[in-house]
Chains A and B, each alone.
Chain A
Amino acid sequence: MSEMRTEEEQVEALKGWWKENGKSLVIMIAIALSAVFGWKTWQQKQLTDAETASITYQNLLDAVSATVGKDSADQVATSQHLGSLLKAEHESTEYARFAALLMARIDVDQEKYSEALQELDWVLAHKPSAEMQNIVLLRKARIYQAMGEFEKGLSVVVELKGKEFSASASELKGDLLLASGKNVEARRAYQQAIELSGNAEKNPLLTMKLEDLATSEEG
């Protein structure tokens, strides 16, 4: 800048530079701006999506709790509508999996066992957490019991992992064995369940089931 230039010369130089670089500069700025803007919009959309899912789920909970303990075809229909909405439009969210769990319960209430199994299998197919998977398996086994398919139920129980669920698994195994007429094995399973739960007083029903099977040959 120290050289003596006239103003015109400087303007000329700027113009020249602009001619050479102007286009790419504008494009760069445009790209940068749209990238930032796009990112923000995407984030916002994610957030709104999650929010919508959360609100829909909350409404679903209200509808389902209104079905508990009474006949209410309206609420069942509302629940099913909200549930399938969540499953269809927010398929990969936790809320969709929750919805499927709730739908399964509504199906069981109406004794539509194979539909309930479909809902639970949907959950299993959509990457549930390990804990959720365990609970789903317990419920599947219980549904097989209701359908009279004790062998299938037993094979589901075997898939359960996780030490906190082992007591429930054993108890359910006992139920299934008893239902298929294997009293001695059932008794063993109940006993195991009591040992695993560590505290029999927490579960008086389990104790009741075991005591009813007290057989003379085992004292």
Chain B
Amino acid sequence: MLQSIRDSSQSIVAKVIVGLIIVTFALFGVESLVSLTAESNAPATVNGEEITQQELYQATELQRRQLLSQMGENADPALLDDSLVSSMVLDSLIEQKSLLLAAEDKNMLISERMIDQMIINTPDFQVEGQFNRDRFEATLRNAGFTPLSYRNLLKKERLIEQERNAYQLSAFVIPAELKRIITLDRQTRDISYFIFPLDDVEKNLTVSDEEINAKYEAERTSLMTEEQVAIEYILLNKNDLRDNVVVSEEELKAQYDQFRVSFQAEDQRHVAHILVEITPDQDDAAALAKVVALQARIKAGEEFSIVASTDSDDIGSSAAGGDLGTNGKGVFADAFEQAMYSLDVNQVSEPVRTEFGYHLIKVMGITKAETPSFAEIKQDLTDDILTRKVENIYVERLELMADITFSSGDLIEPSEVMNLPVMTSKPFGRSGGDLDITQNAKVIGAAFSSDLIQDKLNSSVIELDRERTVVVRVKAYSEPREQTLAEVADELKQQLIKDQASEVLALKAQEAVDQINAGEAVDQVAQGQLVVNLEAVSRASGELPIEVRSVAFALANPDSLKSVVSSAELPDGSVAVVLLKKVNMTEVQLTDEETQSMGAFLGSRIGQQEYQSLVAELKNAAEIEKK
């Protein structure tokens, strides 16, 4: 058999096949064969191009991080709905892909060289103004990128940005429209309104038990109680530990000795300076020449402060004769600091070069520092030691708490061992209870988890903040159930009354509108309600309810002397009757600057709208398959 294999491998056909394999490998790499066999599990394709699982995963992770950092300290990653985030991210990836494919179709290109340039010019990757490879890689690692994936991302973003900018930056608004919109926006209106309060109507309404009963029967299936838990918990509070910690006199002495050794008497200096800046117009040599000239003037007897006020480029201090106040170390640039600590009082330095330019420095005074006495800092030392000790005990107790609550089936044993009382909460729903503990998102999440409700486990330790940690367990759980008539009767009655009152009010308001339209006096129609008259109300005015304002601005411009009327419902159910008496169009006079800035604003608004339409069109045109 071996012989036959040998023979046939010499044949022309075999040679051709081997030749083909060699060519394929050489040109397209091993992937060409592997990818044929690997089954695609892409979550979506756009025009046949895949969005890979990997891409989706990475983008989702990125999005999650951003969301969490927006939610702040109290955020619990478990509360983020993963499938929701990932479907949102998938949608945006699909949009991105459609845009990218369209850009590639149009032969748009971001070359490798351009990406190099971008990376080198990113301030985040620079150390002292120079690109730094280590910094670059470290920054990427922190953000979860490899150099390759980052380059890819840059390329995509820049391509899309090129197109977006083309439309947004080229959008414009024409003067006539700008003027019209500003005139509309600044127009004011003279109005009157009065309010028929809901209460007044409600007072006179009654509802029979039959009506309540009927409403209950009709709605009973939707009148459910909320799902609730009552929890018990033990709370470890750092501040409670403080009372049991004592600080001995010896400890204090030892701490003071340590402090005295490490305390360096660092005096503070009152300085003034004159700055000669190095700017594009004034290069290093010119600045140096100028500063030397200033130095000569001071040596010749001119007052330092006067030279500073006339010739210093530091606008912050020049008016005060260059005075910078009294400062210690670590405030100024290194070279500056060295100079100011090497001078005696009233001495002026040689020119000192810093990143800002050349300085002449004068020391106006020196404040000597002395080591504080034991009595002076006793309180601070006590606090330091106390805090340190408490921190240690807290950490120890925290570990104990974690161990013991994990191993016991209830909170009784942990409570005894740790000498912490078991506290109980009132029942609360998913929106939280009345204690700050039962309002904590992590506690709520744990309390409604199946571990605690079904398996009756203790929760893991939950840090409420830096000082407090709790372990909770569910004491009682009540499933949602239908409420009885007795429980909801009052609520239903209120609702019925409110509904009826609203109907009555709507009729009443309509009647009032009709009467005013028929020519009756407003005060008469208002039936004793206060009529508010306002002149020149602007679109942003805060002096009247928002609902009244928007109705007033939606009303037609009244012709000649006749007002137009309408009504508006307020958030509390009351109804306002609104009269528009006059529209005031003021001739808008814009300065050139206003025209330009508002033109730019409106133009970019139009550009955004156009670009959004374009993106939507592209998405419509693409063939998108989701799995």
Q: Which residues of A contact B (CB under 8 A)?
A: 47, 50-51, 53-55, 57-58, 61, 64-65, 68-70, 93-95, 98, 101-102, 104-105, 108-109, 111, 129-132, 134-135, 138-139, 142-143, 145-146, 162-165, 168, 175, 179, 203, 205, 208-209, 211-212, 214-216
Contacts and interface: CB of A to CB of B under 8 A. Distances in A.
B173 to A, nearest CB: 8
A108 B174 contact: yes
B110 interface: yes
Given A165-B613, A208-B184, A209-B184, A98 B176 contact: no
B169 A105 contact: yes
Q: Output the residue of A95, A109, A179, A212 with the most chain B CB within 10 A.
A: A212
A146 B167 contact: no
Nearest to A218: B556
Nearest to B106: A94
Contacts of A164: 613-614, 616-617, 620
Nearest to A142: B174
A152 to B, nearest CB: 14
Contact of A146 (B174, B187, B564): B174
Given A54-B162, A208-B184, A211-B554, A145 B176 contact: yes
B610 interface: yes
A68 B597 CA distance: 8
A51 B112 CA distance: 10
Contact of B172 (A70, A109, A129, A132): A109
Contacts of B605: 205
A69 B596 contact: yes
A54 B114 contact: yes
B113 A51 contact: yes
Contacts of B621: 130
B102 interface: yes
A202 to B, nearest CB: 9
Nearest to B618: A131
B497 interface: no
Interface in B73-103: 102-103
B108 A94 contact: yes
Given A138-B610, A146-B174, A208-B185, A98 B166 contact: yes
18 contacts: A50-B107, A51-B109, A54-B111, A64-B170, A98-B162, A101-B166, A102-B170, A130-B621, A134-B613, A134-B614, A134-B617, A135-B167, A135-B614, A143-B174, A162-B613, A165-B613, A205-B181, A216-B564
B191 to A, nearest CB: 14
B169 A57 contact: no
The 5 residue pairs across chains A and B that have the minimum distance between CB atoms: A146-B174, A98-B166, A214-B556, A101-B170, A94-B106
Nearest to A69: B600
A102 B169 contact: yes
Given A57-B162, A108-B174, A164-B613, A51 B111 contact: yes
A165 B556 contact: no
A105 B174 CA distance: 10
A65 B166 CA distance: 11
Contacts of A216: 556, 559, 564
Interface string B604-615: 010001100110
Interface in B173-211: 174-177, 181, 184-185, 187
B557 interface: yes
B110 A162 contact: no
Contacts of A146: 174-176
Nearest to A132: B614
A168 B617 contact: no
Contacts of B624: none
Contacts of A50: 107-109, 111
Interface string B313-334: 0000000000000000000000
Contacts of A105: 169-172, 603
B407 interface: no
Contacts of A211: 553-554
A164 B172 CA distance: 20
A129 B597 contact: no
Contacts of B620: 163-164
B555 interface: yes
Contacts of A205: 181, 605
Nearest to A130: B617
B165 interface: yes
Contacts of B600: 68-69
B108 A95 contact: yes
A55 B108 CA distance: 11
B402 to A, nearest CB: 50
A70 B596 contact: yes
B616 A215 contact: no
